[in-house]
């Protein structure tokens, strides 16, 4: 038995909140595939290759995972990879409606792929990638929210507005 889970997202960039979910999933499944969505609705700051590299470097301690990317429907990708589950983080009540809609739609599309919700540590529940980028760009400290490799990448990519 080899239970594979997909953890899909944009990961622009990966934060400690995502790593928290990957770690939890890695204890539940034999293999976790972190799947970067090539999402036409978003204009990511980092290329897929940059995002992949940051994920790899910040999850070295997790042995039963890999990083990939996909286009199109996540359920098709999950099926193609032989996954039994899609893992999603559920952070706050505000996530619930959107997550319910996605989970039900994905179930309608592919009954056999089950969505599993995991809750991150409470210190990570208010996080998202956009807020990290915004706070960083205005000079705020985000070093405790992202892995070092992401902090370095942001320093190279985003000019900081430190004006009062
Ligand atoms: N910790 C910290 N931040 C988190 C988090 C966690 N545990 N989980 C999510 N976030 C953040 C993300 O970084 C993201 O931030 P951003 O909007 O500022 O970029 C935000 O919360 C929303 O995350 P999420 O809901 O995972 O969106 P996403 O864009 O990262 O991923 C997909 C959405 C890719 C999973 C979804 O659009 C998808 O499956 N697309 C494929 C097409 C498809 O199948 N569509 C039909 C689905 S029914």
Q: What CA–CA distance (Å, rounded) separates 64 from 62? A: 6
Q: Which two tokens stand for residue 29?
A: 């499944």
Asked if 42 is an active-site residue, the reply is yes
Strands in 10-158 per DSSP E:
31-37, 65-70, 85-89, 114-118
Asked if 108 is an active-site residue, the reply is no
Q: What is the pTM of this model?
A: 0.94
Measured in whole angstroms, how far is the alpha carbon of residue 5 from the centre of its chain?
A: 13
pLDDT one digit per residue (tens) for the chain, 164 residues: 799 999 999 999 999 999 999 999 999 999 999 999 997 788 999 999 999 999 999 999 999 999 999 999 999 999 999 999 999 999 888 889 999 999 999 999 999 999 999 999 988 888 899 999 999 999 999 999 999 999 999 999 987 766 55
State the catalytic residue, choosing from 31, 51, 52, 129: 129
- Find, among 122, 132, 119, 126, the residue nearest to 158 by Cα: 132
Q: Which residue's C-alpha comes closest to atom 45 of ligand 1?
A: 73
Q: Is 82 helix (H, G, I), strand (E, B) or coil?
A: coil
Asked if 143 is an active-site residue, the reply is no
């Amino acid at each position: 038995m080899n239970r594979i889970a997909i953890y899909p997202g944009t990961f622009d960039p990966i934060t400690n909140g995502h790593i928290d979910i990957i770690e939890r999933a890695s204890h539940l499944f034999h293999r976790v595939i972190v799947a970067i969505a090539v999402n036409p609705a978003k204009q990511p700051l980092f290329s897929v290759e940059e995002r992949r590299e940051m994920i790899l470097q910040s999850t070295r301690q997790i042995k039963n995972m890999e990083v990939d990317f996909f286009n199109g429907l996540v359920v098709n990708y999950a099926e193609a990879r032989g996954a039994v589950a899609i893992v999603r983080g559920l952070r706050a009540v505000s996530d619930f409606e959107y997550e319910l809609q996605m989970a039900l739609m994905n179930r309608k599309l592919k009954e056999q792929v089950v969505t599993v919700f995991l809750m991150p540590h409470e210190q990570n529940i208010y996080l998202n990638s956009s807020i990290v980028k915004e706070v960083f760009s205005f000079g705020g400290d985000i070093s405790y929210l992202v892995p070092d490799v992401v902090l370095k990448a942001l320093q190279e990519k985003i000019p900081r507005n430190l004006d009062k």
